[in-house]
Amino acid sequence: MAGFVGASLGGTLSWEYLAETCELWPGPVVVKGILHPDDAERCIETGADAIVVSNHGGRQFDAAPAAIAALGPIVERIGGRVPVLFDGGVRSGLDIARALALGADFAFTGRSFMYGLCALGTGGAEFVASMFEQQLVSVMHQLGCERLAELRDRDPRFAPP
Residues 6 or more apart whose CB falls under 8 angstroms from that of 160 comprise none
85-111 burial, b at 16+ Cβ within 10 Å, e below that, comes to bbbbbbebbbbbbbbbbbbbeebbbee
| Known active-site residue 36 | no
C-alpha 13: how far from its chain's center? 20
Alpha helix stretches (DSSP H) within 30-154:
37-46, 67-78, 93-101, 110-120, 122-143
Among candidates 48, 7, 8, 9, which has minimal Cα distance to 27? Answer: 48
What is the Cα–Cα distance from 151 to 140, expressed in whole angstroms? Answer: 8
Q: Which candidate in 36, 56, 91, 152 is catalytic?
A: 56
What residues are annotated to the active site? 56
